[in-house]
Amino acid sequence: MTSELKYRRCCSRGLAKEKTATLPVIGINPRSSSASRLLPITFILLLALWATPRLGAQIASGGISGTVKDSSGAVIADSQVSLTNDQTGVVQSTHSTSTGTYVFESVPAGTYTLRVTHSGFQDVVIKNIQVHVQFVLTEDVALPIGTAQQEVTVSAAAPLLQAESAAIGTTIESKQIVDLPLNGRDWASLAQLAAGVTTASTQFSGAPGNAYFAVDGINPWQMDFRLDGIDDNVELYGGPGPTNSNVNITPPPDAIEEFRLQNGDFNAEFGHSTAGIINAVIRSGTNRIKGDLWEFLRNDAIDANDYFSKQNHQPIPEYRQNQFGGTVGGPIMIPKLYNGRNKTFFFFDYQGTRIIQPNPIPTASRRL
């Protein structure tokens, strides 16, 4: 009997806080000849220190941008724009610029409601906005003339084209991950449904049920896997590693919010590989405590025998596999001390695998 613990994770998410970097004070004599050479280098280092915290949060999130206009098409500056996550209640706010544009960066994947208000105009509320990983959605808003007591509510339409980025990719959402059949419950293998993806050669353990595949004909070892923006690659050259996969940590499918396979025109933040990039995001807790349980069984008692084995009167080989686990998430609540609704959440998942199969012991003659 073998036992395998797939993944265990507990996390909390809440309102994003602005990261700051403390810049070192460097004393340089501007009259020296070496100072003229050091100044450009110092400037680049200071710029890198300032920019790094901001760039690090872009990989595992999406964004929303747009322009606020009136009914005649003229831009409206200084409009109040708020974005609310429908599951967690977390609110982000901003104002439109002098050109009427607004931008929400580092938006976690999920369903959102956008509200735009400005004095002298009716409020506009756009519901069911779907934000995906590495996808910047364009949502322009037209404000009708009216009073603040009036409100216009519309439902967002699925975008046909991403106008903010030239990256090419396919998004696999949680419903597809959970509902589609998975042999071995390796969700990363669903990337093989995307255009340009082929199963790796069986010589190198490639199979439809694992995360070892080639994108656009490029070497499978050139794949880049990210989990919540963190490097999740098996750093082993020459093969997919002991799990027949390029992925280091594989959470159960029920723990994945979505993942996106990008196979062309990557942003500058990616530089690890030349093939495809898979960005996966772990689900977050919400304002409601909810979860699920599962058990997947494979047993030789309900299997059909192979044709040739049956002709040779050979029995079905013993094989029993159980994959079981569950997830649970919700707000962090400490009675009389802390209420985490709309702020702080937890999420936990577990999957265990038990496999029983014969392990023949060689005879004494074979040992020689």
Q: Give pLDDT tens digits for 51-92.
A: 433 333 467 899 999 999 999 999 999 999 999 999 999 999
Is the same domain home to 211 and 306?
no
CA 324 to centroid of chain Cα atoms? 23
Tokens 């390796």 -> residue: 186
Domain that holds residue 101: 63-155
Radius of gyration of the chain measured on its C-alpha atoms = 26
Is 350 in the same domain as 247?
no
CB 194 within 8 A of CB 213: no
Is the same domain home to 181 and 266? Answer: yes
Residue 312 pLDDT greater than 60, yes or no = yes
SS3 state of residue 321? strand
Residues 179 and 278 in one domain: yes
User: Does some domain include residue 342?
Assistant: yes
* Maximum alpha-carbon separation in the chain: 94
- Give the pLDDT confidence of 263-273 residue by residue, as tens digits: 877 777 787 78
Specify if 239 maps to a domain: yes
Same domain, 252 and 328: no
**What is the predicted pLDDT for the residue at 147?**
76
Q: Does a structural domain hold residue 172?
A: yes
| DSSP codes, 197-264 | EEEPPGGGT--TTSS-EEETT--GGG-EEEETTEE-B---TTS-TTTTSSBS----GGGEEEEEEEEE
CATH number at residue 237: 2.170.130.10
What's the CATH code of the domain at 132?
Answer: 2.60.40.1120
Distance CA 355, CA 322 (A): 7
Give strand ranges (E) for 249-344: 256-264, 277-282, 290-299, 320-331, 333-334, 338-339
Element (H, E) at 366: helix 364-367
In the listed set 155, 185, 203, which residue is the last one of a domain according to the structure? 155
pLDDT range class, residue 368, cuts 50, 70, 90:
low
Provide the pLDDT confidence category of residue 21 given band limits of 50, 70 and 90: very low
pLDDT for the residue numbered 113: 96
Instruction: Tell me, yes or no, whether 120 and 197 share the same domain.
Output: no
Q: Assess whether pLDDT exceeds 80 at residue 299.
A: yes
Residue at which a domain ends, from 230, 259, 282: 282
Task: Report CA 264 to chain centroid distance, whole Å.
Answer: 18
Which residue matches tokens 């369903």? 111
DSSP state of 24: P
Number of domains in the chain: 3
Indicate whether 256 belongs to any domain.
yes
In a shared domain, residues 144 and 173: no
9 pLDDT above the threshold of 50: no
The mean predicted confidence, pLDDT, of the chain is 80
Same domain, 142 and 183: no
* Rounded distance between C-alpha atoms, residue 250 and residue 170, angstroms: 19
Shared domain for 192 and 149, answered yes or no, is no
Closest CA to 69 of 134, 31, 121: 121
Quick check: helix, strand or coil at residue 149? Answer: coil
Query: Which of 282, 302, 318 is at the close of a domain?
Result: 282
Question: Would you state the structure tokens that stand for residue 13, as one six-digit string?
Answer: 């998410």
With CA atoms as reference, report the closest residue to 201 among 190, 193, 210, 232: 210
Q: Which residues contact 116 (CB under 8 A, 6 or more apart)?
A: 68, 79, 80, 81, 123, 124, 141, 143
DSSP lists the bridge partners of residue 65 as 103, 138
In the block, residue with structure tokens 């499978």? 220
- Residue 199 inside a domain? The answer is yes
pLDDT of 332 strictly over 80: yes
Q: What SS3 class is residue 298?
A: strand
Q: Count Cα neighbours of 168 within 13 Å in the Cβ-side half-sphere.
A: 10
3-state SS, 30-69, equals CCCHHHHHHHHHHHHHHHHHHHHHHHCCCCCCEEEEEEEE
Examine the pLDDT at 101 and tell me if it is beyond 70.
yes
129 and 210 within one domain? no
Residue 354 domain flag:
yes
Residue type, 14: G
Q: Residues 172, 268: one domain?
A: yes
Structural domain contains residue 34:
no
Closest CA to 223 of 214, 288, 199, 351: 214
Are 146 and 230 members of one domain? no
* Rounded distance between C-alpha atoms, residue 69 and residue 144, angstroms: 9
Is the model more confident about 149 or about 203?
Answer: 149
Asked if residue 14 is part of any domain, the answer here is no
Would you state the pLDDT for residue 16?
A: 36
